[in-house]
Amino acid sequence: MNILWAAETPLTAREVGRRIEDRELAPTTVMTVLDRLVRKGFLNRTRDGRAWRYQPAASRDAYVAELMLEALDLTGDRHAALTHFARSVSGAEAEVLRKALMELEKR
């Protein structure tokens, strides 16, 4: 996936395989992984002659944002029901906590 994100243009499975540092990987393994990613909607593919060309469906940053929105509980609906350590607060409420933190560090 990182290879496809780094590439500017859609790649074929053969090209992906060539860029993977671990040369031991069989071409069919690469195909299988790419296929699975397509099925999960993370990659789009287009016909190019006899081969498929693969392209990320969204940028890496978009996925990071999606994960973290859910992680920080900002999506409104809490479908994934993650258990968080703590939530952060803003404004005057944060001031209360900041004061408590300073007192704690003084001890």
Partner 1 sequence: MIAAAVLAALAMGCVLAAKRLTAAKWTHRAPHIGILLWQAIGVAWGLATIGALLAFALEPYGKGVFYGMAAMVTAPEYGGVESPHDVARLTALVLGLALLAVLIAVPIVAAVQTLRARRRHRDLLALIAREDPSVPGVRVVDFPAAAAYCVPGLKSQVVISDGTLSLLSPGELDAVLAHEAAHVRERHDLVLLPFGALRRALPWSGLVRDAQASVELLVEMAADDRARQRCCPKRLASALLRFGTAAVPVPQGALGASAAESVMARVERLLRPQSALPPAQRFLLLAASVALAASAPALWFLPG
DSSP 88: -
Residue 21 or 50: the one with the smaller Cβ distance to partner 1 is 21
Q: Interface with partner 1 includes 25 (CB under 8 A)?
A: no
Q: Interface with partner 1 includes 84 (CB under 8 A)?
A: yes
Place of tokens 């607060």: 89
Residue 48 or 95: the one with the smaller Cβ distance to partner 1 is 95
Cα(43)–Cα(10) distance, integer angstroms: 10
Whether residue 26 contacts residue 13, with contact meaning beta carbons closer than 8 Å, is answered with no
Q: Interface with partner 1 includes 6 (CB under 8 A)?
A: no
Q: Interface with partner 1 includes 48 (CB under 8 A)?
A: no
Q: Interface with partner 1 includes 40 (CB under 8 A)?
A: yes
Per DSSP, what are the bridge partners of residue 72?
none
